């Protein structure tokens, strides 16, 4: 799994810490992901509020990419929330893919 972190000109983030958080948060799916891209941006400039947006895009091998976004006051919190959301999405996505392979459906017929 290759992790790439991108930021806009107004966002400061510790790239190494963000990369480590993403790798650790998605370690369970490491073998099934080819690439994860993180895009951090300042949503509303100096106005305040939920200021930083983290968009994570994961590319599972042999499947369409999936993406999530999370907004928070700090870049660390934005990355943390996005990793949690992406982890849940991948659990659901891979669960659906794995569930189709040779298991019995609710009707009792093989899938």
Express each pLDDT in 58-73 by its tens digit: 999 888 999 999 999 8
Q: Quick check: 86 pLDDT over 80?
A: yes
Q: Tell me which DSSP letter residue 77 carries.
A: H
Q: How confident is the model at residue 27, as a pLDDT? A: 93
What pTM does this model have?
A: 0.81
Express each pLDDT in 10-55 by its tens digit: 888 899 999 999 999 999 999 999 999 999 998 887 676 668 999 9
Of 9 and 15, the structure prediction assigns the larger pLDDT to 15
The rounded distance, in Å, linking the Cα atoms of 62 and 17 is: 29
Which domains, from first to last, does the chain contain? 2-93 (3.30.160.100)
Q: How confident is the model at residue 12, as a pLDDT? A: 83
The rounded distance, in Å, linking the Cα atoms of 105 and 11 is: 48
User: Measured between alpha carbons, how far apart are the two ends of the chain, in Å?
Assistant: 30
Contact 78, 41 (CB under 8 A): no
């Amino acid at each position: 799994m290759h992790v790439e972190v991108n930021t806009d000109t107004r966002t400061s983030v510790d790239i190494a810490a963000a990369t480590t958080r993403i790798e650790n948060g998605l370690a369970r799916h490491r073998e099934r992901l080819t690439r994860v891209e993180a895009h951090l941006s300042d949503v509303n400039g100096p106005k305040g509020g939920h200021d930083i947006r983290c968009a994570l895009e994961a590319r599972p091998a042999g499947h369409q990419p999936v993406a999530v976004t999370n907004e928070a006051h700090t870049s660390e919190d934005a990355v943390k929330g996005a990793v949690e959301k992406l982890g849940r999405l991948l659990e659901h996505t891979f669960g659906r893919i794995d569930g189709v392979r040779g298991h019995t459906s609710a009707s009792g017929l093989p899938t």
